[in-house]
Amino acid sequence: MAKLPRQLEGEEVAPLATDTEPQGHTRREFLRSATLFTATVAGLGGGLELLTRRPSGTAEAQAAAVTRKRALGPYDTSEPVTSYQAMTTYNNFYEFGLGKDDPSRNAGSLRTRPWTIKIDGEVRRPQTVDIDTLQSWFPLEDRVYRMRCVEAWSMVMPWMGFPLAALIRRLEPTGKAKYVKFTTLQDPKQMPGQRSGVLDWPYVEALRLDEALHPLAFMAVGLDGKILPNQNGAPLRLVIPWKYGFKNIKSIVRISLVSERPKTTWALAAPDEYGFYANVNPAVDHPRWSQATERRIGEVARRKTLPFNGYADAVAGLYKGLDLRRNF
């Protein structure tokens, strides 16, 4: 039986410092290490990066000498970014354990090279592609998004990656494609949490095709100017900022375009608690806690949750005429 995410009301989370200055590698360094970071990104309005040297003399400077300075893009939030420590040590990734610190402690066993992604289903260009080739197809972009967990806590996270729509269009969907299904790696040797029966493995998530084609839908390969850490879903993960965090599937090995709505992991495990759509909605409570407010990690006071996590102006039209209380 699945152990369900617990509410954080009353659970103590120590406030963490905010670090708003992302660090990073140049594109050449990223390519050389087979993890592909960029120094200059084309295509996202607002102008992206001016690489500067961090003053020497600190351990942080020695660890990462290059810092990306960038203007906010059209999809970015201007809210303070959550500290890198919090983003990488307070995680849900049941493949590595149920505790928030289990992923950071256990994910070192995951090997992200070599790594291939199978692309199949209702596409004219099915293929199996290695992660570095896939990344080379697109200019990488920075996105600073809010992240809202279904457990009523949140972060602000700076991602690097590419629009999901760019990948889908490259694959040339057929007229039968209605949904995009994503599958996580299944390998209990590398992912010890899969040795338990907490969920039916492998982890599966899905989007409607129109959701996947929305400009906010994003495939991340980096976090805060660094290579995407294993505990955050390396080497490739989904980021859908207007949905609860469990929709943001990690360590993806398969992308399938299909005609029927897939059965997704949490919707199968607890259909009365975790729906297919999983849109952030303060008016629809979880059966065991309120979704009206959230705890921003690094802050003490709770804040009001915004419809669609603050992205309503951009995405509400996708659900026109849909009863969001029933289709949660």
> Is 316 contained in some domain?
no
Instruction: Give CA–CA dist 41/48, Å, rounded.
Output: 6
How many residues are present in the chain? 328
Mean pLDDT, the chain, rounded, equals 84
Instruction: Look at residues 187, 179, 154 and name the one whose alpha carbon lies nearest to residue 87.
Output: 154
- Find out whether 265 and 199 touch, Cβ atoms under 8 Å: yes
Instruction: Give CA–CA dist 254/274, Å, rounded.
Output: 22
> Is 16 contained in some domain?
no
- Vertex 69, ends 63 and 72: CA angle to 5°? 135
Is residue 149 marked as binding? yes
According to the model, what pLDDT value does residue 70 have? 57
Sheet strands (E) in 170-299: 179-184, 204-208, 218-223, 226-227, 237-239, 252-258, 293-296
According to the model, what pLDDT value does residue 67 have? 35
pLDDT in tens, 68-115: 445 778 889 999 999 999 999 999 999 999 999 999 999 999 999 999
Q: How many CA atoms lie within 13 A of 93 on its CB side?
A: 33
> Is 119 contained in some domain?
yes
pLDDT in tens, 165-203: 999 999 999 999 999 999 999 999 999 999 999 999 999
Is residue 327 marked as binding? no
CATH number at residue 110: 3.90.420.10
Is residue 91 marked as binding? yes
Instruction: Give CA–CA dist 212/205, Å, rounded.
Output: 12
What is the arithmetic mean of pLDDT over 259-264? 99
Instruction: Give CA–CA dist 315/42, Å, rounded.
Output: 24
CB atoms within 10 A of CB 322: 11
List own/partner pairs for 194-201 with CB under 8 A and 24 or more apart. 194/95, 197/1, 198/2, 198/3, 198/94, 198/98, 199/2, 199/94, 199/265, 199/266, 199/269, 200/265, 200/268, 200/269, 201/95
β-pairing, 141-148 vs 153-163, is antiparallel
Is residue 311 marked as binding? no
According to the model, what pLDDT value does residue 59 have? 36
Is residue 28 marked as binding? no
> Is 303 contained in some domain?
yes
Instruction: Look at residues 199, 216, 190, 170 and name the one whose alpha carbon lies nearest to residue 309.
Output: 216
Which tokens hold the place of 241?
């900022």
- Find out whether 14 and 8 touch, Cβ atoms under 8 Å: no
Is residue 189 marked as binding? no
pLDDT in tens, 218-238: 999 999 999 999 999 999 999
Which tokens hold the place of 123?
């596409």
- Find out whether 219 and 228 touch, Cβ atoms under 8 Å: no
Looking at the predicted structure, is the pLDDT value of residue 294 above 70? yes
> Is 268 contained in some domain?
yes
Instruction: Give CA–CA dist 249/91, Å, rounded.
Output: 13
Instruction: Give CA–CA dist 234/185, Å, rounded.
Output: 11
Number of domains making up the chain: 1
Is residue 94 marked as binding? yes
> Is 318 contained in some domain?
no
Indicate left, alpha or beta for 152 from its phi (over 0: left) and psi (-120 to 50: alpha). left
Is residue 49 marked as binding? no
pLDDT in tens, 138-164: 999 999 999 999 999 999 999 999 999
What is the arithmetic mean of pLDDT over 117-132? 99
3-state helix, strand, coil split of the chain in percent (to 5) is 20, 25, 50
According to the model, what pLDDT value does residue 72 have? 79
Looking at the predicted structure, is the pLDDT value of residue 311 above 90? yes
pLDDT in tens, 25-53: 333 344 334 343 333 333 333 322 322 22
What is the arithmetic mean of pLDDT over 316-323? 98
- Find the domain containing 301 and state its range: 23-311
- Find out whether 222 and 161 touch, Cβ atoms under 8 Å: yes
Is residue 248 marked as binding? yes
> Is 124 contained in some domain?
yes
According to the model, what pLDDT value does residue 73 have? 82
Question: With pLDDT > 70 as the criterion, what percentage of the chain qualifies?
Answer: 78
- Vertex 32, ends 252 and 48: CA angle to 5°? 75
Is residue 67 marked as binding? no
What is the arithmetic mean of pLDDT over 10-28? 34
According to the model, what pLDDT value does residue 7 have? 34
> Is 18 contained in some domain?
no
Between 288 and 71, residue with greater pLDDT: 288
Distances in Å between the Cα of 38 and the Cα atoms of 24, 103, 157 are: 9, 26, 18
